[in-house]
Structure 1
């Protein structure tokens, strides 16, 4: 049986997991960037100091890259803490710019023990095309090589430390970079971000540049440039259905209402295809599902996380539709067309929860930042009465997914102690987060949580 200390530990770890999933240290609708960073820094110090093994194990959860980098940096600063294989696995899942930024921060902090050098060495050795990285992230690669005390011989070493010492490179991307200084045609063999600088230097017009560089664009670059390139009369060929669900939802929400209407078939088809890919073998297995989705004004987020909470809600709508055998999505604004979602108005969560529970679904998923204000506290009271009086056996599973970290409470804001709350950043993680949320209900304890983390790490 769990002791009181075990219950506190379980609660602390779940609180940290919610923060590490949702917070990126940036400004939110109800909190400044400074408040976010200060709160998050305290949590990292507190959890690492009190539960070092569980702190390291959270790398196996679906936490965001910002917090994964913080955890890895903190583990490397303390020799003997953390599993090197888990650190290497997590680094392999992170975007290259984020990893190179982490290596630079380790160098600035003077973290240069043997394990750190080995991790940097192995990560660089595992890159599919280090020459490509050397062109796209040249200063970052050079910094990592120096910090790990690596010796690069041949063309790559010359390119990083004496790029004009050779009159020709045999590696195509390195030779393209050399030629691009004087040959306009060579820049189209370079990564987009590098080619863009050379295009400006050579005075190439934007439409011509975009048309010729299009074959070199990554999927994310195609999506980011779709609108600006379209305005210039250039099609980037973005494959919307191949995009991650929340990124795609953010793109859809960035479009004007009339554009969404005109492109309805394309956009809805892409959202459903992306959701079906995320659902995978679980598609159609969740039975009857209802969702209450927050599109109130606070779902706008902030200027640096524009419409992020609303994008998560829109993405969850299509993913739940794919997971459920029967699905009903209810927006707090009472809009019926998810494609036309926009952040506006108050947050009458309580009334919409009543509407959702009226049909007694097998599961109710609430996606909201938790600021119930029309009237304040109604959602909590509805959930309390439902759990204690109308459904004490828990026949209707209820879970609250919150995409926003609340710096004041060191957690995501909860609607009610009657239902579990989990932080969410990417809709694809929703099935795993529903599984994790059961620990917050108090039906399972510390031993089960430790076993769950160990199993995730082993997988």
Structure 2
């Protein structure tokens, strides 16, 4: 029993670390989210520190990965073997702006032990373009170098950061472009887009002219954020599945219809990449996909739950055997490209419809608030598992994209149905694998063995 409790505690934390970002959700505020997450991190770190560190090798989101690293570095006396390698490997995957934010938090907390200084120095030394970091993340890099008493990559970068008036000009084109952009409009088009934006506003450059001239310096994602129509089919086909789904849902219905072939092709290409070697191997698959009003998310996570459901739809289509996939949206709609967050959540009725198709796998993507009628989905799944399918011929898993701050977990539909948190549709195959541990039939030992395998593969992939 104690092993099962431990396994449940760890899975509860993994679900939270995958879904929660400390931001407002449809039914909970940002403050509630942060308070709930803070408790979970402290609880799991104190009671299951080796597993807490091992979570860095799982598909937890960047917000929680940074929190795990911060908590581990704050408590060096409790460190276990291999923690430093895990921290360094996960830091290498974090977006630079989030890593620099983490370093600022460590400085504010006066965390400056030897291990922290070594890890931060190694991360800075491994950055591929020191001049780009000095220009794009200047405050963060300065703070990190001061905190760990580390040298800059070269004397020129050091002068740029700490003594900018010492040099009349710089040998690095990027550093010199930043210097010239203070008084020369043409120089700002040699800078990264996010840096050039500030100089364009300072010089009063018209927005349309600025976007036209800076276009060669913009990334594909920056183009999509600034000009909705700028993305071409080739660009879209290279985007990650969930990010592409978010973009598609941001378009008006008329534009989605006009670009149906382009958007559908891009979504299917992204799904095939995410499916990888598992494509076509899942047999008969049925999916219940939540497009009720609560899938609209919040002001800071607009339509995120619906985007995850849309991404899962195309990924499950790729994973199922050809012609053996049945999607069922809670709205009863049949056009995934035109889904919108609307209406109640009749999960129970859709689950009944899905089970009638006799699938080998049933995947439910929903926030778990079954309300039309309330509780029907849980009762249907209970009867199905205990009376109609005790041999488990049909595998059922519930993926929930929304963290329930009050319950310290994602909301579940039924005790006998494994539930896993999901943030990106691309993680679906791995989450279905880890969801098996949520059924209560495996103990802490099996979960630790699984985590050890994931850590080994993670470090091997990171060159560790």
Residue 261 in 1 paired to residue 273 in 2? no
**Cα distance per residue 1:336-384 (max 9 Å; x no partner):** 0000010010000000001111011110000000000000010011101
Within 1, Cα distance between the matches of 2:64 and 2:94?
A: 11
Distance in 2 (alpha carbons) for counterparts of 1:164 and 1:195: 21
Q: Where do residues 186-265 of structure 1 align in structure 2 (5 Å cutoff)?
A: 186-227=187-228, 230=229, 235=230, 239-265=235-261
Q: CA deviation at 1:163?
A: 1.6
CA shift at 1:236, angstroms? 6.0
Q: Which residue number in structure 1 is paired with residue 160 of structure 2?
A: 159
Q: What is the alpha-carbon distance in structure 1 between the residues aligned to residue 92 and residue 317 of structure 2?
A: 31
| Aligned mates of 2:226, 2:201 — CA distance in 1 | 17
Give the superposed CA RMSD.
1.1
Q: Which moved more, 1:72-81 or 1:334-343?
A: 72-81
Specify every segment of 5 or more residues in structure 2 that has no aligned partner in the other structure, as ranges.
Answer: 458-464
Match of 1:365 in 2: 363
- Quote the residue 1:348 is aligned against: 346
Find the aligned partners of 2:376 and 2:3 in 1 and give their Cα distance.
32
Alignment partner of 1:160: what SS?
helix
Alignment of 1:33-432 (within 5 A): 33-80=30-77, 81-82=79-80, 83-152=83-152, 153-227=154-228, 230=229, 235=230, 239-325=235-321, 326-432=324-430
Q: Distance in 1 between matches of 2:106 and 2:374?
A: 45
Distance 1:90 1:25 in 2: 20
Q: Which moved more, 1:443-452 or 1:107-116?
A: 443-452
- Using the TM superposition, give the Cα deviation of residue 164 of structure 1 relative to its aligned residue in structure 2, in angstroms: 2.7
Cα distance change on mapping 1:270 and 1:199 into 2, 3 Å: same
Deviates more, 1:166-175 or 1:412-421: 166-175
Report the Cα distance in structure 1 between the residues aligned to 2:35 and 2:183, rounded to whole angstroms.
48
2:462 maps to what in 1? none
- Segment of structure 1 superposing worse, 392-401 or 79-88: 79-88
Deviations 1:298-342 (A, max 9, x none): 001111111110000000001111111121111000000000010
Query: Which digits, 9 at most, give the CA deviation of each residue in 1:266-306, with x for residues without a partner?
Result: 11111111111111121111111110000000001111111
SS, match of residue 415 in structure 1: coil
Question: Matched residue of 1:127: which SS?
Answer: coil
Alpha-carbon displacement from aligned partner over 1:122-171 (angstroms, at most 9, x marks no partner): 10111110110110010111001111101224110000011232111111
* Partner Cα distance (2:431, 2:127) in 1: 30
CA spacing shift, 1:236–1:417, aligned 2, 3 Å = closer
The corresponding residue for 1:443 is: 441
Secondary structure of 1:416's partner? coil
The answer to whether the Cα contact below 8 Å between 1:292 and 1:352 also exists between their aligned partners in 2 is yes
* Aligned CA distance change for structure 1 residues 126 and 411 (closer, same or farther; 3 Å): same
Q: Which runs of 4+ in 1 moved over 2 A?
A: 235-238
Deviation, 1:89, is: 0.9
Q: Measure how far apart 1:242 and its partner are.
A: 1.2
Q: What is the rounded CA distance, in whole Å, between the counterparts of 1:57 and 1:8 in structure 2?
A: 18
> Does the Cα contact within 8 Å between 1:223 and 1:240 map onto a contact in 2?
no
TM-score by length of 2: 0.95
How many angstroms does 1:399 deviate by? Answer: 0.2
Cα displacement (A) at 1:33: 1.1
Of 151-160 and 299-308, deviating more is 151-160
Asked if the contact 1:225/1:236 (under 8 Å) is kept, the reply is no
Q: Distance in 2 between matches of 1:408 and 1:181?
A: 50
